[in-house]
C-alpha cells in the first residue's frame, strides 16, 4: 500500500516534470497520444513489438533495482512477486521478472490468464527455462503475500486496458493487491486506474514506472518514487510529439522524476 504523503510527497527524487517548455519536464500524455507514439515506433521506425516489450521490461526491472536495492530489502531472500495480466502489460511483467532474476532477485510470477499470442508464450517459456516459479493461485490471505515477498510488481492492466476491465476477471486480483502492505511497483498505469482520469478504485502503488512518457493519470500518483523509461525513443519522435524528456544521467535507461515545485 502506498504511503499517502501530501500530493507529490517529500520522497520524490530526480527531475521535475509537467511544465511545458522547460527541458527535462515530460508532459503527461493521453491514451490516444501514447498509442500514436507507439504506432510511430512500430510502423515508421520499424521497431518490433518484441523489441519494445523487451526494452520496457528491462527498464522496469532497472527501476525496481533502484527503488529496492538488494542490500535494502527487509527479508533475507530477495523475493519479488510479479503479477501479470493477459495483454501487453503482462508480457512486460514477464520480461521484467526475467531481468530481475538476472540481477539476482528471486521473482515469482502469477500469470493466471495466459495469452495465446506466440510472442507472449515465448516470454513465458524464457521465464520457465530460467526456473522462475509460477504460482497456480494468488493467496487471498494477504498476510501470506506480505510475509513471503519484499515487493509486488503490478503488471496486470496497462495503458491498453479499457475502463472497467478492473471489474472483470482481474477484480479478484486487484481486490487482493489493494490490501497488501508491502510496496507495489506499477508498470506504466496502476491497475484499475483510468489512463487519463486516474484512480477509480484501483490500487495505490508506492512506485510508478512510466513507459516512454508519463500518462495523464500520473498526476494523481501519490507514491514514493516515479520513474520514466523513455531514453530509447528516437530524437525525431521526441520532437514530433513534444515529449520533452528528462535528462538521463550517464548510460541510465530510467530516471526518477520529482513533482513540479
- Whole-number pLDDT of residue 171: 83
In the chain, the percentage of residues whose pLDDT exceeds 90 is 63
Query: Which pLDDT belongs to residue 195?
Result: 84
CB 98 within 8 A of CB 130: yes
Q: Is the pLDDT of residue 4 over 50?
A: no
The dihedral sign for the CA sequence 254, 26, 28, 46? negative
CA 217/CA 30 separation, integer angstroms = 9
Residue 90 to residues 11, 63, 109, 219, 237, Cα–Cα distance (Å): 28, 17, 10, 23, 25
On whether the CB atoms of residues 142 and 182 are closer than 8 A, the answer is: no
Q: Which of 250, 255, 196, 191 is nearest to 225 (CA)?
A: 255
Higher pLDDT, 97 or 165: 97
Whole-structure pTM value: 0.87
Task: Render pLDDT for 107-163 as a digit per residue (tens, 0 to 9).
Answer: 999 999 888 889 999 999 999 999 999 999 998 899 999 999 999 999 998 766 554
> Beta 184-187 vs 207-211: how paired, if at all?
parallel
Average pLDDT of span 217-226: 90
CA–CA gap between residue 41 and residue 23 (Å, rounded): 22
Report the pLDDT averaged over residues 12-37. 65
Q: What is the pLDDT of residues 67-107, one digit of tens each?
A: 999 999 999 999 999 999 998 999 999 999 999 999 999 99
- Please return the burial class of 190, using the count of CB atoms within 10 Å of its CB with bins 0-12, 13-18 and 19+: buried
Residue 233 grid coordinates:
525513443
In percent, how much of the chain has pLDDT > 70?
Answer: 83
pLDDT at 13: 42
- 102 φ/ψ angles, rounded to the nearest 5 degrees: -65, -35
On the question of pLDDT at 7 being above 70, the answer is no
Average pLDDT over residues 205-223: 91
166 half-sphere exposure, CB direction, 13 A CA radius? 25
Amino acid at each position: 500500500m502506498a504511503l499517502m504523503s501530501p500530493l507529490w510527497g517529500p520522497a520524490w527524487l530526480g527531475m521535475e516534470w509537467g511544465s511545458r517548455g522547460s527541458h527535462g519536464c515530460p508532459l503527461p500524455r493521453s491514451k490516444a497520444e501514447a498509442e500514436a507514439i507507439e504506432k510511430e515506433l512500430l510502423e515508421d521506425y520499424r521497431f518490433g513489438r518484441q523489441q519494445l516489450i523487451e526494452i520496457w521490461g528491462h527498464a522496469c526491472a532497472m527501476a525496481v533495482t533502484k527503488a529496492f536495492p538488494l542490500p535494502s530489502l527487509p527479508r533475507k531472500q530477495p523475493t519479488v512477486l510479479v503479477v501479470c495480466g493477459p495483454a501487453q502489460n503482462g508480457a512486460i511483467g514477464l520480461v521484467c521478472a526475467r531481468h530481475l532474476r538476472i540481477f539476482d532477485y528471486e521473482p515469482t510470477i502469477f500469470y493466471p490468464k495466459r495469452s495465446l499470442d506466440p510472442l507472449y508464450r515465448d516470454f513465458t517459456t524464457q521465464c520457465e527455462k530460467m526456473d522462475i516459479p509460477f504460482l497456480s493461485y494468488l493467496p487471498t490471505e494477504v498476510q501470506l503475500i506480505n510475509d513471503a515477498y519484499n515487493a509486488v510488481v503490478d503488471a496486470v492492466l496497462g495503458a491498453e486496458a479499457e475502463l472497467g476491465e478492473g471489474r472483470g476477471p482481474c477484480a479478484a486480483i486487484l481486490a487482493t493487491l489493494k490490501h497488501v502492505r508491502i510496496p507495489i511497483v506499477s508498470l506504466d498505469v496502476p491497475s484499475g486506474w483510468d489512463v487519463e482520469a486516474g484512480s477509480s478504485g484501483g490500487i495505490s502503488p508506492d512506485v510508478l514506472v512510466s513507459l516512454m512518457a508519463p500518462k495523464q493519470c500520473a498526476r494523481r500518483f501519490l507514491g514514493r518514487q516515479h520513474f520514466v523509461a523513455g531514453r530509447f525513443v528516437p530524437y525525431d519522435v521526441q520532437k514530433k510529439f513534444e515529449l520533452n524528456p528528462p535528462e538521463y544521467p550517464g548510460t541510465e535507461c530510467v530516471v526518477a522524476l520529482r513533482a513540479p515545485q
